[in-house]
Chains A and B, each alone.
Chain A
Amino acid sequence: MNLENEVPSTASNLSADDMSGDSAYLGPSARCVLFALDNEVYGIQVKKIREVLRVGTIRKVAGAAYGVLGVINVRGVIVTVVDSRTLYSMPTREIDDLSRIIIIELDEERTVGILVDFVIEVKDIPESKIESLSASKENASRHIQGIAHFQDNVIILIDVDNMFLGAE
């Protein structure tokens, strides 16, 4: 796990966390975008995120794999959109004004969008507060980089590379 302190590429309609109250330096940290699914808070490293979009029209693709909501047009590029709820075996929910699509950059050529309930903020999470998962893992945990306990929150950090490993 190599978490670096990086400047986010783009962070549209998000407010960066105001860290002024936290003057003590807590060591190296990972800057993450935090989003919510029901009551759980998840985080994805900013360097893997290209942008966050409001949900417009998602073009359904008949016969696509379960969990693939369809495709959207991002400035001329057709991006597949996946429902994060399906990824975590949660029941699906209607899209509302707070729903967002997080566009993730798997590598230079491959992007994918994840539909989430709502995006909370961008936060620097100190590495010291992150614990990697122990050996006993359940099914979905290969996607999980670690769990952070920070500022009274339990944040589940997602490893997007693993999540979409082998997906073509």
Chain B
Amino acid sequence: MDEEILQDFLVEASDLVDQLNEQLVELENSPTDSDLLNAVFRGFHTIKGGAGFLAITPLIEVCHRAENVFDKIRNGDVEYDAAAADVILRAFDVISDSMAQLNDGARELPENDPQLLVDLDALTGSKAVVEEPAVEVSDSTEPVLQLADGVDPDGDISDDEFEALLNQRDNSSSSSQSSEVSAVLTLPEGVDPDGDMSDDEFEALLNQRDSAPSPVTNTQTSPSLALPEGVDPDGDMSDEEFEALLSQRDSIDSSTKAATNTAPKPAAPVIETKPEATPKPKVEPASSSKSTAKPAAKSAPESTVRVDTKRLDEIMNLVGELVLVRNRLLTLKGKGSSVEDLSNAVANLDHVTTDLQASVLKTRMQPVKKVFGRFPRVVRDLARKLGKDINLELKGEETDLDKNLVEALADPLVHLVRNSVDHGVEMPDVRANAGKPKTGTVVLAAQQEGDHILLSITDDGKGMDPDVLRTKAVEKGMMDEMAASQLDDKSAFELILSAGFSTADQISDISGRGVGMDVVKTMITKLNGSIDIHSVLGEGTQINIKVPLTLAILPTLMVGFDEDSYAIPLTSVQEIFDFNAENTNKIDGQVMVRLREESIPLYFLNEWLASDKPKDDYAGDKVVIVSIGNQRAGLVVNQVNGQEEVVIKPLGVMLKHAAGYAGATITGNGSIALILDLPGVIERFQ
């Protein structure tokens, strides 16, 4: 398999799979939308085409059938009802799974579940029968086609011989456990078995042939005949091509007779090139590599991003500007330049660099649609499973996000949406009794707010009762009654983000274990984001997530100890004030500072960061109050140097996991500032 072609195929097919995901769910709401049906048909057809080119047999089998189903549907022969949807979605899952495996490095896919193929065929109305050893013979005859004696399967088939094939169909022979691999074919309805056979009918025969698995062993693949490249299954078929198909079939037979457990792909190379007159099928030589279904060693996942050429053009322009400024500075360096000239040039440089930075960052942006794409399906499946009626609305899909963010947010969002469906929206009858519409609504929205992106999940379900939450907190031993009663509603709602907190009395496999929400909180915090929750009992709940647009840039508070600078993430900083020894006292060996009737632990950072210069007198130092999770702490620093947006650079070898540091950055004057990781800092002092 050509790796390059495979990679191209995977990129294209992944996009198609994402689209199909959405389209299939939409289709259930509008099953007769012809544009949608055509799009879905084309989707399966294109994937099939690519898979055929790469000879990925199991994929071809499923796509081929799915395509057929949709062909029937768009012609009005078959209806896309709930049952059909279930089968198609199963097929889609198989395709999606295959893509994932190929992306992970597998170069061979396991054989398809024969039942799926049967179900798919059943949708198109073709009566393929699964041959089982003890199956009852149904009324319709199950003819077995064998090439007549004397017919050379490798030679051209004459009309007579073909006629003979058709005639065989008429002879009713009971399905028996012939040791020979035989195909059971039923001519499509309405076809005169003695008349000429059109290509459509032949195609139908092929379809049947594909779907009938061999009765000998269950592990045999249903040999699928890959139509030669370039052949339009609905158009004319030349003798050579037909005969190539026959040879595929035969070669498959011989290889299965040899009782190897390999997936038959011998005819594929033959078909790829040119159907030769005497195709001695080249059984794929590396049978040893096929004897196990172990996927190839996981190739390094190729991470690519699709970039709009318009963005690239912008960058080219800006680079051009940068070159001009550089040239200007070079000229200025030479002759004796005035301060004014220099500062103009520098201002220009500043401007161009800022623009260039923004442009380059934009190339890593992807529309949030990529994440949202999977939700219709998630909600649909979950709602069906729970017996609820839910409508999912997506808003702001075009909002752009850094690629890393997109991937990092996927899981938390899924969890929150599932929560809304599971715990938020009520059962239809409960809703009706409450005077609400039976269909619940969940809105997933994305919006850009300056340098942040705001994601929200809103449902019109039963909302949360802050009192219940307070009680639960006391029950779980998280706090005493006094503390619980002092929590305002907002803080009460935030309780659900704590580990082990769940008000669900029954744990389902979906949610209720109380481990999901705190993981969500952790992941969001890791992204330097924040969550807040609003809820009105009986009306619904809204969860808002705010995440900075790019991961790499962090607004910080720069603090210092003599010449050494450190950066504290600004989102954690609450307030700053002068250190005053009189406001401090020692409780249990820990120095605390009194702040508006609260006692907050103090940590003297220079004990750690400037341990070679110990001091007793901290007058003149500053206290920075930070929030770490649910707690607050005060960090005593020498100087506070103001806010700065910094680019996070990872620390390298031997320092990556050094406690207390989240990375480093290069400041305006070229020196290095270390970025503090607050939880790690506290750990150092414990």
Contacts and interface: CB of A to CB of B under 8 A. Distances in A.
30 contacts: A59-B564, A59-B664, A59-B671, A59-B672, A59-B674, A60-B564, A61-B651, A61-B658, A62-B610, A63-B660, A63-B684, A64-B658, A65-B654, A68-B654, A71-B655, A72-B672, A73-B666, A77-B649, A77-B652, A78-B663, A78-B672, A80-B654, A110-B652, A110-B653, A111-B653, A112-B652, A112-B653, A164-B653, A164-B654, A168-B656
A36 interface: no
A57 B671 contact: yes
B98 to A, nearest CB: 31
A115 to B, nearest CB: 14
B653, B670, B671 interface centre (most CB from chain A within 10 Å)? B653
Nearest to A60: B564
Contact of A78 (B608, B650, B658): B650
Nearest to B680: A63
Interface of A: 57, 59-65, 68, 71-73, 76-80, 82, 106, 110-112, 164, 167-168
A59, A76, A78, A80 interface centre (most CB from chain B within 10 Å)? A78
Contacts of B656: 168
Interface in B607-659: 608-611, 649-659
Contacts of A61: 651, 655, 658, 661, 674
A64 B655 CA distance: 7
Given A73-B672, A78-B666, 14 more contacts: A59-B671, A59-B672, A60-B564, A61-B651, A61-B658, A62-B609, A63-B684, A64-B654, A71-B664, A73-B666, A77-B652, A78-B650, A106-B653, A112-B653
B658 A76 contact: no
Given A79-B652, A112-B653, A168-B657, A62 B671 contact: no
| Interface size band for B | 20 to 34
A78 B652 contact: yes
A80 B672 contact: no
A64 B664 CA distance: 14
Nearest to B655: A80
Contacts of A76: 649, 666
B652 A80 contact: yes
A111 B652 contact: yes
A64, A111, A164 interface centre (most CB from chain B within 10 Å)? A64
Contacts of B666: 73, 76, 78
7 tightest Cβ-Cβ pairs between the two chains A and B? A59-B672, A112-B653, A78-B664, A80-B652, A78-B649, A62-B609, A80-B653
A54 to B, nearest CB: 15
Contacts of A68: 654-655
B664 to A, nearest CB: 5
B614 to A, nearest CB: 13
A61 B659 CA distance: 11
B671 A78 contact: no
Contacts of B651: 61, 71, 78, 80
A71 B652 contact: yes
A92 to B, nearest CB: 15
B553 to A, nearest CB: 14
B189 to A, nearest CB: 62
B481 to A, nearest CB: 41
Nearest to B650: A78
A167 B623 CA distance: 36
Contacts of A78: 649-652, 663-664, 666, 672
Contact of B654 (A63, A72, A167): A167
A76 B647 CA distance: 10
A98 to B, nearest CB: 24
